[in-house]
């Protein structure tokens, strides 16, 4: 069950709402069976997110004091981007269990996702005062730094945390992620290696290690990591990661053996639509791919990955004006997410497409009002082209 939740909670790693099964009332709720039946139906694709929300709301009307129902309903509202409603319920759960840091963190994250990072920080500062320093609270504060793109501050905070808790896995993961954000790729690689010593088959680690390997021009290295996932069941996340790495390695013919494994999946969350868009794109169905990317952008207008994939889609379809519009917006939103799709596809582009990408990227480097780290990433891309 946990793997299903983690697969769907793809907003990685910043402010990801871990939709792991709530522990606070397990075994105490009269409606525990009904709650998990609803969640099973959602994650197995038998019911849609809005239906699951309505069913949990119905259970909550039967027993407003049931904390398991409340917590899981808030989790789903968070996944549905209904952050204000989620924060109201998280606040109620927190008041019922003030000594549990998890509920304070959930409340802080839902406030941050509404755009009120100051209120989120206030919640966490009060929690540190009330409960004392603990890794969960310190890391939640670090995630707010990452959300605000204060990467240097986050790195400093993580170094302090890791001195006290050197084997804290989430701290190490955030340290690797932050190193990628600061373009300290060797530090990121070494930290990922340390993480894989403890867990060779963590999908979240493998996804980000794959992105690192693509940035370093060594996709084959990450493909070896995915070989540790040998349970015979490939998630959509894993399939798309393998496709991207295979393409980045220059094997455009080898991607179909992965795409053919996509079964009867149904998009449930925004992350699913992003993955489906990529699947359509890599299979050559560019119109369907753009429909998925457009859906993502309607929900998150500054989703850099959807913007970058839309740019690549427009480039391949020779829609020059749309390509330029999507490309500059992707770089403006997040150059890390912009560069990765281009590095995946660089060997699949024809001469004219590659030249167009080079010209427009060079233009951004030369005249764009970019931060130095963005210019470094784009310059690395230009060298690969």
Q: Model confidence over 44-96: pLDDT tens digits? A: 778 889 999 999 999 999 999 999 999 999 999 998 889 999 999 999 999 99
Mean pLDDT over residues 185-214, rounded?
A: 94
Q: How far apart are CA 30 and CA 48, in angstroms?
A: 24
The better pLDDT of the pair 208, 80 is held by 208
Q: How far apart are CA 348 and CA 351, in angstroms?
A: 10
Q: What percent of the chain has pLDDT over 90?
A: 75
pLDDT for 7 equals 34
Would you say residue 21 has pLDDT above 90?
A: no
Q: pTM to 2 decimals? A: 0.86
Would you say residue 28 has pLDDT above 90?
A: no
Q: How far apart are CA 270 and CA 272, in angstroms?
A: 5
Residue with tokens 């924060």: 87
Would you say residue 24 has pLDDT above 80?
A: no
The better pLDDT of the pair 157, 4 is held by 157
Would you say residue 194 has pLDDT above 80?
A: yes
For residue 243, CA distances in Å to 210, 281, 375 come to 11, 11, 27
Query: pLDDT tens for residues 228-262?
Result: 887 667 888 999 999 999 999 998 888 888 888 88
Mean pLDDT over residues 139-154, rounded?
A: 94
Q: How far apart are CA 225 and CA 84, in angstroms?
A: 39
pLDDT for 231 equals 66
- All domains of the chain, ordered by start, with CATH? 1-127 (1.25.40.10), 266-385 (1.25.40.10)
Mean pLDDT of all residues belonging to the chain: 89
Q: How far apart are CA 267 and CA 8, in angstroms?
A: 10
- Maximum mean pLDDT: which of 14-18, 26-30, 34-38: 34-38
Mean pLDDT over residues 349-356, rounded?
A: 96
Would you say residue 267 has pLDDT above 90?
A: no
Token duo for residue 322: 């749309």
DSSP 259-298: HTT--S----SHHHHHHHHHHHHHTT-HHHHHHHHHHHHH
Would you say residue 202 has pLDDT above 70?
A: yes
Mean pLDDT over residues 190-198, rounded?
A: 95
Q: How many CB atoms lie within 10 A of CB 295?
A: 17
Would you say residue 16 has pLDDT above 70?
A: no
Cα 130 vs. chain centroid, distance in angstroms? 31
């Amino acid at each position: 069950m946990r793997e299903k939740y983690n697969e769907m909670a793809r907003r990685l790693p910043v402010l990801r709402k871990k939709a792991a099964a709530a522990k606070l009332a397990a075994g105490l709720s009269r409606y525990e069976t009904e709650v998990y039946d609803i969640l099973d139906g959602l994650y197995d694709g038998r019911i849609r997110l809005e239906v699951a929300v309505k069913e949990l709301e119905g259970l909550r009307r039967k027993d407003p004091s049931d904390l398991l129902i409340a917590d899981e309903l808030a989790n789903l509202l968070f996944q549905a981007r209904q952050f204000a409603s989620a924060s109201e319920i998280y606040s109620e759960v927190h008041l019922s269990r003030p000594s549990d840091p998890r509920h304070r963190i959930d409340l802080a994250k839902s406030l941050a996702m509404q755009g009120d990072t100051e209120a989120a920080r206030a919640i966490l500062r009060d929690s540190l005062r009330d409960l004392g320093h603990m890794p969960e609270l310190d890391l939640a504060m670090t995630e707010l730094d990452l959300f605000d793109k204060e990467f240097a501050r986050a790195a400093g905070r993580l170094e302090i945390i890791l001195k006290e808790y050197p084997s804290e896995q989430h701290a190490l993961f955030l340290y690797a992620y932050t190193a990628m954000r600061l373009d300290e790729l060797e530090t990121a690689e070494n930290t990922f290696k340390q993480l894989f010593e403890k867990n060779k088959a963590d999908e979240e680690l493998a996804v980000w290690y794959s992105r690192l390997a693509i940035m370093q021009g060594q996709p084959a290295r990450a493909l070896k990591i995915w070989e540790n996932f040998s349970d015979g069941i490939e998630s959509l996340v894993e399939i798309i990661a393998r496709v991207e790495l295979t393409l980045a390695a220059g094997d455009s013919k080898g991607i179909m053996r992965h795409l053919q494994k996509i079964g009867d999946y149904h998009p449930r969350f925004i992350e699913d639509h992003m993955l489906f868009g990529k699947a359509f794109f890599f299979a050559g169905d560019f119109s369907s791919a753009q429909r998925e990317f457009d859906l993502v952008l309607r929900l998150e207008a500054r989703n850099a990955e959807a913007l970058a994939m839309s740019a690549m889609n427009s480039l391949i379809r020779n829609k020059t004006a749309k390509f330029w519009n999507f490309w500059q917006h992707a770089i403006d939103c997040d150059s890390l997410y912009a560069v990765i799709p281009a590095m995946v596809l660089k060997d699949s582009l024809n001469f004219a497409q590659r030249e167009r990408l080079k010209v427009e990227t060079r233009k951004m480097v030369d005249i764009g009002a970019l931060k130095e780290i963005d210019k470094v990433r784009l310059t690395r891309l230009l060298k690969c082209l």
